[in-house]
Every structure is written in C-alpha cells, then in structure tokens.
Amino acid sequence: MDGMSGRSRTAGRVRLGALATAAACLIVGLAPQAATAADDGAWVNLRNPYTQACLGINTAIAGTMPVTQVTCKVTNFNSWNLSDEGWLRNGYQSGSCLDTNGTNLYLSTCNTTDPGQLWERLPGTKVGIVPKAFPGKTLVGWADGTVSVAAPGSVDQAGKYQWQWNWW
C-alpha cells in the first residue's frame, strides 16, 4: 500500500479538482472577448495619444457645437457610445451622432439613412475609428486641436489617427 488513508486520498483529489477548476476559470477569464464594453452601451472617452486630448464638443464657441479635441474629463461633452448599429453617439446632446462628409466632422441628429454616421473600429486594432461610408479613411486628431477624416498614408504620425477607448 502507499501509506495514505482513504480520507487523505479523497482530500487530495478534492484539492486537485479545486485547483483544476481555478485554473480553468483563470484561462477563461483571460481569453479574448468578442465584444467590449464600448460596444455594449458603455460610455467612453476617446483619447488621442499623440495630442493627449479627447474627441469632444467645444461649447465655448457661441451658437455652434463643433467636434474638436478637448481636455480629457468625464463629462458629457466628450463622452461617446458606439451603438450596435455603428452610430458614435455623443453624450452632450441626446440623439446626436458623429457625422462626416468624408473630410469634416460634425454632430447631427442620429439618422439610419445617413451613411456618414456609421463608424467602426479600425479592423485588427483597438485604437482606430473608421467611417464605414469612406473606406481607406480614419478619424484623425491634429496637433492644432482640430479633427477630420483622412487616409492614414496622408498623416505624418500614426498616433494622430489612434484613439484609445477609455471606459468610465
């Protein structure tokens, strides 16, 4: 015999089983997830690592609400939500979505027939934002604080078209 009682063998099996269960849970917890919080209705700040600013609305300009880069804070002015439909909704004005004509950015009323309002993350990355209606272009944050849509090849620094999704 191996010198172990039946009770010792049972306790050893229980510990081994618990260890295997814990390891399996850890592996599952580290596995890549299909969707992120930003895709599930969470509000985020979109921070540009080149400019250290966030995509937002400049309410200081009377009578307008241009989309620009602003100081990163947890406010409705620079909060965004990527809907399942592809709208990038702004938290400042209910029903407002990021819109583009292929160059300029602005807010407009969310509309299912406006292709300039449909966005997605840059395929293969976690940082780029591309307009579905304008293939080959991406959202760019410029050093002067403005934003536009441009082809990545026309941008001198890759960081200008990278946007980090910072969850609240």
Residues 95 and 149 both lie in one domain: yes
Range of 18's domain?
A: 1-31
Residues 125 and 50 both lie in one domain: yes
Residues 43 and 92 both lie in one domain: yes
The stretches in the chain having pLDDT less than 70 are 1-41, 60-65, 122-127, 168
Residues 17 and 75 both lie in one domain: no
Residues 19 and 3 both lie in one domain: yes
Residues 23 and 94 both lie in one domain: no
pLDDT of residue 90: 84
Q: Are 108 and 99 in contact (CB under 8 A)?
A: yes
Q: Which residues contact 118 (CB under 8 A, 6 or more apart)?
A: 85, 86, 87, 131, 132, 133
Dihedral of CA 67/71/74/75: which sign?
A: negative
Residues 18 and 63 both lie in one domain: no
Residues 50 and 19 both lie in one domain: no
Residues 10 and 56 both lie in one domain: no
| pTM beyond 0.95 | no
pLDDT of residue 20: 38
pLDDT in tens, 22-65: 333 322 232 222 334 344 567 888 999 999 999 988 776 655 56
Residues 22 and 45 both lie in one domain: no
Total number of domains constituting the chain: 2
Residues 13 and 46 both lie in one domain: no
Residues 3 and 43 both lie in one domain: no
Distance CA 111, CA 7 (A): 68
Instruction: Find the CATH number of the domain harbouring 123.
Output: 2.80.10.50
